[in-house]
Structure 1
Amino acid sequence: MENISLLLTEALTPYQASLGPSGANGERVVTLRNAAGAIVIERTLCVAQLRDKRQLTDVVDGFHRDLLISEGRIEPCVLAAMRHATQVQVFTSFQAFN
């Protein structure tokens, strides 16, 4: 699991990622700290999310999104609009094939 912590830190630079101890069901708390050492994001993840490459990629993407929001570089409503536009586009593409 220490490799996971190093991978997360590398993927989320300049933030420092750390894994907390295993919980009763194997879940782990991942904490991201800024350069000053302040906690920016803390999230509980299940073991599967940390062991599977696809799920770990999704975790990193989620952290990137949350960091953009916490830094004020993107608004949550912008994300919602982007998701909605993608869903509508996929739906209309699907209808075109039927």
Structure 2
Amino acid sequence: MENISLLLSEALTPYHASLGAAGSRGECLVTLKDAAGTVVLERVVSAEQLRDKRLLTDVVDGFHRDLLIAEGRLEPSMIAALRHVASSRAFTASAGFV
């Protein structure tokens, strides 16, 4: 798990990631702290998400999004709008209207 913590810290620089136990099924509490040691984000993730490379990439992407929101650089409503546009394009492309 120490390797996962180091990978997360590297992927989420300048934040420091630490892992702690969070559940009876092997869930882990991932805590991100800034340089001053202040907790910025915490999230419970399954052990499977930390073992599978693709799922771990999704976890990192989720933290990046949440950090943008926490830093005030992205509004949650903007995420919803972007998802709506992406799903509209996918629907249009699958219907042959592109």
By how many angstroms is 1:53 displaced?
Answer: 0.4
- Taking the TM superposition and a 5 Å limit, the aligned residue runs for 1:12-31 are 12-21=12-21, 23-31=23-31
| Structure 1 counterpart of 2:31, one-letter code | T
Q: Which residue of 1 aligns with 2:72?
A: 72
> What is the TM-score when the length of structure 2 is the normalising length?
0.96
Does 2:52 match 1:84?
Answer: no
By how many angstroms is 1:23 displaced?
Answer: 2.7
Secondary structure, in 3 states, of the residue corresponding to 2:35?
A: coil
By how many angstroms is 1:21 displaced?
Answer: 2.6
After superposition, the CA RMSD in angstroms is 1.1
List structure 1 segments (4+ residues) > 4 angstroms apart after TM superposition: none
What is the percentage of aligned positions where both structures have the same residue? 64
Alpha-carbon displacement from aligned partner over 1:22-68 (angstroms, at most 9, x marks no partner): 63111010000011101010000111000000000000000000000
| Structure 2 counterpart of 1:91, one-letter code | F
- Preserved contact between residue 22 and residue 44 of structure 2 (Cα < 8 Å): no
- Matches of 1:54 and 1:72 in 2, distance apart? 27
